[in-house]
Amino acid sequence: MGRKTNADETHGFASALKRGISTRTVALTLTALFALAWAGPAWAKDAAKAACGTEVVATSSGPVCGVAENEPGRSGVEVFRGIPYAASVAKEFRWTAPRHVEPWRDTKVADTFGATCPQSGLFAPGEEDCLFLNLWRPAGTKADASLPVMVFIHGGGFYQGAGSDPLYNGGLLVKDGVILFTINYRLGALGYLAAGDVAGGNYGILDQQLAMKWIRDNAPAFGGDPERITLFGESAGAMSIGLHLTTAPASRSLFSAAIMESNLLGVPYRSLKAGQDEAALFMAMAGCEDIACLRRMDIASLQKQSDGFRSSAGMMLPDHLAAVNVWAPVIDGVHITGPALPVPADTPPKPIIIGHNGEEGILFLAPFEGHFPGPMYAGWLFALFGGDFDKALKVYPGKVDGKEDAIAAGVKVFTDYVFACGSREFAASFPDARLYEFTQKPNFNLIPIPACAGQPCHSYELPFVFGNADLVEMADHKMGAFTHDEVVLSKAMRTYWTNFAKTHDPDRGEPVKVSWPVAGESNDYVLRLDSPISVEAPTDAACRMWREIGYPAGG
């Protein structure tokens, strides 16, 4: 779901937009090949040269240069912000497959992030011309460096988020000898309405695939190795990667390894029919009879309809678990051939890291606080798991330490089924998989949910993966700061992640204090990311019960 929820849960993260939002780059007509040899006015070349902080890189879209990363403590890093990887998807191009951007010939100085995609909340309102990517690399990286590439896909429930979030700044991560890309992709109804030119929708997934192709093709020009591309992402980003790994055929050749942080594997995806039925309902609620009507609608009104549909889905859609992500990929049989779990037998055996946070469920149960009396608990389980609710009720009886506490029990149910046990079930199908659980209790509160204060809530591992607590305004409106122990943990996590990108083994590369064993069907070794880090081999009866109920659940 990402680190923010909906608009009324958003607080003043003013620092998130401190660099502003750019308008789209003007596309010119000549190819990148001709751009390098272009004999234009000397003043134009001189102006670009003066603004560039890096050498000019010849990409398939046109020449581009970056600037020095200027965030404190992140010197020695170059950043390229706001490179368009696709043409505009506005107006008549809403609900169409993404198209290659028209090549430009002038050197683009990539010093400003591109527009975020339309959404509400932290990055609102965004613009429809939003398909941009960003990259960080060690200063002075040459085209022949062949550094491993990491591609981060942001979370946000498929309805919000951006690759330009300060939380994802790559200034510390790339110091370990990698190149980092972050991307934008279409969100909400614009990204996942099962209508328009693509039968099942999945426009956001197609955007991701086009970005991945652009990165594979252009990685060598930036000093990256196209044979060592690791996808990593959190929440909706991890869900996307799970599909790229298993049931999105066009994605398989575009990356070599994957890291999934908090993949909601217990949340089912919509079938093509369900997606198309919901698209018809969305149009009716928006006062439209066809997609042409939606394309004529102004973006503010369309975004309001998208948000309204998402917020009311819980009482409209029959599958309560699927309603967790109303705007999400659809199993269309072409671009996405099935769910990620059960893992299909023909899935390539790529190395993976997958894990979750210790208190994932708090974010999802927080809206029920004060409105979830004990008698409703069994009904909630029935809504999620149908006739199997009684099995869940025996393992999670709605009490904690002998006292009635439906919220705490619900948090445990959601954390175990959707995240923890789902991750173990997924990892069991890969010969080279590593499991983790992030249990560190941060000294800061990333999102404005009081129950998350001091708890390893959903998305709370992200400041540690990127090392960027100091770049993010927290729920108390103060910038984050790590304790000494948190600095040590963050550095260790960055080392595991970048070692994996380099060698596909988190233990090989930079030294680590705790070896991370491969997970196996008989003993699901889990790396406990805490202060200190440890390894456990849990034997959990709850996961056996969830395996019997199955993925997806029958409720």
- Catalytic residue numbers read 235
Residue 434's φ and ψ, nearest 5 degrees, are: -130, 135
Query: What secondary structure letter does DSSP report for 3?
Result: S
Contact in structure between 502 and 513 (CB atoms under 8 Å): no
CA distances from 328 to 262, 339, 347, 553 (A): 16, 12, 21, 18
231, 151 in Cβ contact below 8 A?
Answer: yes
Whats the size of the chain, residue-wise?
Answer: 555
Residue with the two structure tokens 């039925």:
277
Asked if 52 and 39 count as a contact pair (C-beta separation under 8 A), the reply is: no
Rounded-to-integer distance, Cα 227 and Cα 214, Å: 14
Phi and psi torsions of 551, nearest 5°: -125, 125
Helices of type H across 74-192: 188-192
Token output for 61: 């879209």
Residue 506, token pair as written in the block? 């988190």
375's enclosing H/E stretch is: helix 374-385
Closest listed residue to residue 463, CA positions, set 281, 234, 265: 234
Longest CA–CA span in the chain (Å) reads 79
Tokens linked to 22: 């750019």
Element (H, E) at 277: helix 272-285
| Structure tokens, 477 | 């409106």
**One-letter amino acid for residue 191 of the chain:** G
The torsion of the CA quartet 441, 182, 216, 200, rounded to 10 degrees, works out to 90
Cα-Cα-Cα-Cα torsion 434, 175, 253, 213, nearest 10 degrees, comes to 140
CA 197, 200, 203, 205: dihedral to nearest 10 degrees? -150
End-to-end CA distance of the chain: 22
DSSP state, 198?
Answer: S
- How far is Cα 152 from Cα 229, in angstroms, rounded to an integer? 11
CB 121, CB 50: distance < 8 Å: no
The residue to which tokens 């890093």 are assigned? 77
Query: CA-based angle 223:224:225, to the nearest 5?
Result: 130
Q: Which residues pair with 58 in a beta bridge?
A: 63
Considering just the CA atoms, what is the radius of gyration of the chain in Å? Answer: 23
Please state whether 135 falls in left (phi above 0), alpha (psi between -120 and 50) or beta.
beta
